[in-house]
Chain A
Amino acid sequence: MAPALLELTGISKSFGGVQALRDVDFTLLAGEIHGLAGENGAGKSTLMKIIAGAHGADEGQMRVDGKEVRFRSSRDALAVGIGMVHQELSVAPDLSVAENVFLGAQPVNRFGIVAWREMARAAAEQLKNLGLDIDPRARLGDFPIGVQQLVELSRVLFSGARIIILDEPTSALSPPEIERLFGVLAKLKASGRSLVFISHFLDDILKISDEITIFRNGRKVATTPVTPAIDKAWIIERMIGAGREELEESYLGQIRLDSRPDAPVVLETKGLTLAPAYREVSFEARAGEVLGIYGFMGCGQLELARTLFGRLHADRGSLEIAGKTATLANTAAAKRAGIAYVAESRRAMLFAEEPVFKNVSIAILERLSRWFVKPDRERAIAREQAGSLDIRPPGVETRLGGLSGGNQQKVALAKWLALAPRILLLAEPTRGMDVGAKEDVVRIVRALRDQGIAIVVFSTEPETVLSLADRVLVMRKGEIAHEFAGEAISKDRLLAAA
C-alpha cells in the first residue's frame, strides 16, 4: 500500500455554534484520486478548506509526510504543496488568459520584468494539455464559463502542488471538457500527485475516483475503494442516511406529488434562454399549485427566477401570464403583472434600518394611494400581516434589523402577501432557518396555494422542494432535465435526477 501523504485525525470545526465537522479522520494516499460526496453543509468543503489553510480546525491534527503541520493561511498550505480550486470562480476576467494562468506567479526575467512571451508560451502549452487551443493573449472574460473554469483549474493543476483539491470542478463543463479534464487528472495521478475531487455529480465522482469518502451532517460516514459494487444509489443512501428513523418521514418515504393538471395555467415559459445561465426552459405553473424547481448551485435556477421577476432579461423565448404574452421590462412591471418575488438573501429583500411596517408596505404603496403615503393604513396592514404570520416581536415600529433571521424572512413574505399576488416566486425560502421557522414557512406556503396562488419554489435544498412542492422540475446545467408529476418521489430519486 502506498504511504499516506496526508493524514488528518479527530478534526472538529464549528462556526458560531453550528458544528460543521465532528471528529473527522481523513487519509489521502500518494497517487490517488479521492472523491468526496455529501449534501450541502455536510462538511466536505469545510474539511478541504482546513486542509488548504483557508480555515483553522478547532480540534485535531494534520500530518503531511508524517510530520505535523498547522497552517495559518493558504500560503502556508501552498508552501508544502497543497493547492485548492474553490467552488466559486475566481478569475480576473479583464486580464489575459496567460495572466490568469500565472496569476500571482508570473515568470519574470532577470530585471524583474514580466516575461510576457515566455508566459504566453507556457500558458498555451499547459492549456493544450487540457485540450484548450486558445490565444493566451486574449481577454479571459470573452470566453465561455467552461473555458474560464478550465483556465482556473490549470492555475492549480500545473502549479507543481503535490496535493490538489478540486471543489465542484465540473459544474460548468460540457461532457467533452469533462473528458479532457479527467484525462489530465489521470496524468497527474500517474506522475504521483494526489487529488481530492468534490462534486455533486456522483457519476463524475464514480468515474474518476479510486477511493470515495461520504459525509453527512459534519461526520464521515463511509470511506471505500471504488469497486463495481459501488454505485450511485449506494452513495445516495449513505449521503441521506441509512439510519432512516432520524429523518423526517416525508423526506425519504415516497411522498406523493399532488399535481393539478386541470387548474388553469397562470405562468408559462417557452424556450426561455439566457446564456450562459440557462437554455430552452419551457414549463407551466398552475393556479393553486406549488411547482418546485430543484438543482445544484449554479444550475441556473436563480437566474431563471430573476428573469421571471423582470430583474434579468432573457435572450430568447417567451413568457405568458394568464395566457397573455408578457414582457417584463423591470421589477415594477413584474409586480404590476401580479408577480411577487422573495429573494434568496434577506439582505436583498429588506431594509434593515427601517421599521417593520415600512418593510411590509413598500410593495403596496401604489395600491394605497396615488400621491401620499398613509402611515396609519400601512401600520394597520403590517399589523394584520404580522399577526397572521406570527411575527415576533409583534410591534410594527421595531427596526427590522433587530428581528431574528426567521422573523425577517416572514416580513419578506408578509410584504408580498399584502399585495395578494397571482404568482409567488420563492428563492431558497427556508435557507438558514431552524426547524420551527421552516415549518411555519411550509404552513404559510400551503395556505397561499389553497387560495389559488401559483407558487414556484426555486431551491438547491432537496428537503425544501420535497416539503413544499406538488410538482418538481429538476434543472441540470441550465436545462430542465426531469419532471416529477403525479407520482411518488423521494430524496434519493430527486438527487439521482439532478
Chain B
Amino acid sequence: MNTPSENVGPAARSFRLGDFLRDQLRNIAPFITLLFLVVFFSLASPAFATLDNLENILQQVSVTAIIAVGLTFVILTAEIDLSVAAVANATAIVLTFFTLQPDYVNIANLPMAGPIAIVLTLIACCGLGLVTAFGVTRIGIPSFIMTLAMMQIGAGISAVLVRGQIAYSVPSLVLTLGSKSIGGIPWIVIVAALFLLVAHLVLTYTRFGRYVYMVGGNREAAEYSGVNVRLIVGAVMVISAMCSGVAGMLGVAYFGSAQQNEFDTFLLDAIAAVVVGGTSLFGGRGGIGNTIVGLFVLGVLNNGLDYVKIDSFLKILIRGIILLIALIVNIYAERLRTARTAGRGG
C-alpha cells in the first residue's frame, strides 16, 4: 500500500495552497463578484452605498430568498425545481381565494377566517409538492421534466382561479408579515432571514441535512449505505414547494395584489441566486451561505443598475451575462475538483 509521502518543502506547500484555492473557487468567486459590484456601484453613484438603500436591497431580495432556500435543498441533491415561481403564484392566488375579497373584485371566492385560510393554503401548496415528489421518486420522471409539468399546473391553477382579474385581500397576519415593519425593519426581511437561518441549521446540524449532502454527493453510495434516497429527494421537493408557497403568500402582501404571471421572473432569480452563490449543479457542494452571497450579488446588481442610469432593456442582457459567467465558474469549479479526484484516487 502506498501511503502519501510527506513533503514539507516550499513546493509542496504552494501546491496545497493551489489545492485550497481550487477547492474554494466556488465559494471565493461569488464573494469577489459581490465585492466588485458593491465597489463599482458605490463609485458610480453616491446614493448607492447608504443604509436606506441597503434596506431596499434586503426588501427586494426577500421573496427571492425564501424561494431560494427551498431551491438550495433541491439543487444540493442534484435535482432541479422549475415550478417554484408557478407554485408561489398558485399559492398566492389560492390564499386570496380563501380570503374575503372586496365587492368590486369579481372572482371565485370562498372566504374563511384568516388562520384557516392560511392553513388550507399551506396544505394546498404542500399537496403540489407531494405530487412533484411522487412523480420524481415513485414514477421516476426526471425532476427537470416533472417540475416543468408542475410549472404549467401551477400556472393553470392561477389562471382558473383569477380568470384575468386581480385579487387584493389577504389575511391580516400575511399582510403584516409581507408589508409591515417592526422597529424600522420590514417583517418580510425578518421572515426571509429566519428561513435562511433555519435552513442553514437544518443542512448543517441535522441528520436530514447530512443525507441531503450525501445524496447529492454520490447517490449510489448513499443508497448502498442504506439511506432512503427516494424519501430524501421527495422531502426536498416538498420543502421547495412549501418555501415557494410562503414566498408567494408574503409576495401578495408585498406587491399589494395577486394576479396571473406575477411571479414569473422569480424562477430565474431564485435559480440564479443559488447557482451564482456557488452551490454545485451536480449536487453535494454549497449551501445556504452560498445562497446568501448569491442573493446579495443579484440584489446589488438589480438595485445598482437602477442607480447608474442604464437603458432598462440592457439590464436584462447584463443579468443574463452575469448568470452565464456564474454557470461557467460553477462547471469549471466542478471540473477542477473531479480532475483532482481522478488524479489522486484509486
Q: B7 near A: Cβ within 8 Å?
A: no
Which one of B208, B211, B345 contacts A352 once the chains associate, using CB atoms below 8 Å? Answer: B345
A434 proximity list for chain B (CB < 8 A): 1
Q: A22 near B: Cβ within 8 Å?
A: no
B214 proximity list for chain A (CB < 8 A): 351, 354, 358, 362
CA distance A210 to B221 in the complex (A): 47
A363 proximity list for chain B (CB < 8 A): 225-226
- Which of B228, B230, B346: most chain A CB closer than 10 A? B346
By beta carbon, the residue of chain B nearest A340 is: B226
CA distance A405 to B337 in the complex (A): 19
User: In the complex, how many angstroms separate the beta carbon of A214 from the nearest chain B beta carbon?
Assistant: 31
Q: A350-B218, A434-B1 are in contact. Are A343 and B224 (CB under 8 A)?
A: yes
Once the chains bind, are B341 and A365 in contact (CB under 8 Å)? no
A425-446 vs B, CB cutoff 8 Å, 1 = contact: the mask equals 0000000001011000000000
Q: A362-B214, A373-B206, A402-B344 are in contact. Are A407 and B224 (CB under 8 A)?
A: no
CA distance A297 to B230 in the complex (A): 30
Which one of A331, A349, A373 contacts B210 once the chains associate, using CB atoms below 8 Å? Answer: A373
Once the chains bind, are A349 and B341 in contact (CB under 8 Å)? no
B306-346 vs A, CB cutoff 8 Å, 1 = contact: the mask equals 00000000000000000000000000000001001100111
Within 8 A of A (CB), among B173-231: 205-211, 213-214, 217-218, 220-231
Which one of A332, A373, A402 contacts B227 once the chains associate, using CB atoms below 8 Å? Answer: A332
B213 proximity list for chain A (CB < 8 A): 354
Which one of B4, B206, B220, B285 contacts A402 once the chains associate, using CB atoms below 8 Å? Answer: B4
Which one of B208, B220, B230 contacts A330 once the chains associate, using CB atoms below 8 Å? Answer: B230
Q: A349-B224, A354-B214 are in contact. Are A371 and B206 (CB under 8 A)?
A: yes
Once the chains bind, are A352 and B220 in contact (CB under 8 Å)? no
By beta carbon, the residue of chain A nearest B210 is: A373
Within 8 A of B (CB), among A293-352: 309, 311, 330-332, 334-336, 341, 343, 346-352
CA distance A330 to B346 in the complex (A): 29
Once the chains bind, are A406 and B1 in contact (CB under 8 Å)? yes
Once the chains bind, are B224 and A311 in contact (CB under 8 Å)? yes
Q: A258 near B: Cβ within 8 Å?
A: no
Which one of A311, A349, A350, A372 contacts B206 once the chains associate, using CB atoms below 8 Å? Answer: A372
Q: B2 near A: Cβ within 8 Å?
A: yes
By beta carbon, the residue of chain A nearest B211 is: A365
Once the chains bind, are A331 and B224 in contact (CB under 8 Å)? yes
Q: A393 near B: Cβ within 8 Å?
A: yes
Within 8 A of A (CB), among B223-281: 223-231
User: In the complex, how many angstroms separate the beta carbon of B4 from the nearest chain A beta carbon?
Assistant: 7
By beta carbon, the residue of chain A nearest B2 is: A404
A58 proximity list for chain B (CB < 8 A): none
CA distance A347 to B337 in the complex (A): 16
Within 8 A of B (CB), among A335-394: 335-336, 341, 343, 346-354, 358, 362-363, 365-366, 369-373, 392-393
Once the chains bind, are A352 and B218 in contact (CB under 8 Å)? yes
Q: A286 near B: Cβ within 8 Å?
A: no
CA distance A371 to B345 in the complex (A): 33
User: In the complex, how many angstroms separate the beta carbon of B140 from the nearest chain A beta carbon?
Assistant: 14
Q: A415 near B: Cβ within 8 Å?
A: yes
A358 proximity list for chain B (CB < 8 A): 210, 214
Once the chains bind, are A351 and B1 in contact (CB under 8 Å)? no
B340 proximity list for chain A (CB < 8 A): 401
User: In the complex, how many angstroms separate the beta carbon of B68 from the nearest chain A beta carbon?
Assistant: 23
User: In the complex, how many angstroms separate the beta carbon of A498 from the nearest chain B beta carbon?
Assistant: 27
Which one of A348, A350, A371 contacts B207 once the chains associate, using CB atoms below 8 Å? Answer: A371
Once the chains bind, are A372 and B205 in contact (CB under 8 Å)? yes
By beta carbon, the residue of chain B nearest A393 is: B3
Once the chains bind, are A392 and B1 in contact (CB under 8 Å)? yes
B285 proximity list for chain A (CB < 8 A): 353
Which one of A343, A353, A372, A407 contacts B1 once the chains associate, using CB atoms below 8 Å? Answer: A407
Q: B154 near A: Cβ within 8 Å?
A: no
Q: B294 near A: Cβ within 8 Å?
A: no
Q: B287 near A: Cβ within 8 Å?
A: no
Within 8 A of B (CB), among A437-474: 437
A349 proximity list for chain B (CB < 8 A): 221, 224-225
User: In the complex, how many angstroms separate the beta carbon of A112 from the nearest chain B beta carbon?
Assistant: 35
Which one of A341, A372, A404 contacts B224 once the chains associate, using CB atoms below 8 Å? Answer: A341
By beta carbon, the residue of chain A nearest B201 is: A372
CA distance A373 to B222 in the complex (A): 16
Once the chains bind, are B217 and A353 in contact (CB under 8 Å)? yes
A437 proximity list for chain B (CB < 8 A): 1
By beta carbon, the residue of chain A nearest B205 is: A372
CA distance A330 to B234 in the complex (A): 15
B210 proximity list for chain A (CB < 8 A): 358, 362, 365, 373
Once the chains bind, are A330 and B206 in contact (CB under 8 Å)? no
Once the chains bind, are B221 and A350 in contact (CB under 8 Å)? yes
B345 proximity list for chain A (CB < 8 A): 352, 401-402, 405, 408
CA distance A362 to B209 in the complex (A): 12
B4 proximity list for chain A (CB < 8 A): 393, 402
- Which of B209, B218, B344: most chain A CB closer than 10 A? B218
B206 proximity list for chain A (CB < 8 A): 371-373
Once the chains bind, are B217 and A351 in contact (CB under 8 Å)? yes
A347 proximity list for chain B (CB < 8 A): 218, 220-221
By beta carbon, the residue of chain B nearest A368 is: B207
CA distance A436 to B208 in the complex (A): 38
Once the chains bind, are B220 and A348 in contact (CB under 8 Å)? yes
CA distance A332 to B206 in the complex (A): 18
Which 6 pairs of residues, A with B, have the shortest CB-CB distance? A335-B226, A332-B228, A362-B225, A401-B341, A401-B345, A348-B220
User: Known pairs A352-B218, A352-B345, A404-B2. 19 more at Cβ < 8 A?
Assistant: A309-B224, A332-B226, A332-B231, A347-B218, A348-B220, A349-B221, A349-B225, A350-B221, A354-B217, A362-B225, A365-B211, A393-B4, A401-B340, A401-B344, A402-B345, A404-B346, A415-B225, A436-B1, A437-B1
28 contacts between A and B (CB under 8 A): A330-B223, A331-B227, A332-B226, A347-B220, A349-B221, A349-B225, A350-B218, A351-B217, A352-B218, A352-B345, A353-B217, A354-B213, A354-B217, A358-B210, A358-B214, A362-B214, A370-B207, A371-B207, A372-B206, A373-B207, A373-B210, A392-B3, A393-B3, A393-B4, A402-B4, A402-B344, A406-B1, A407-B1
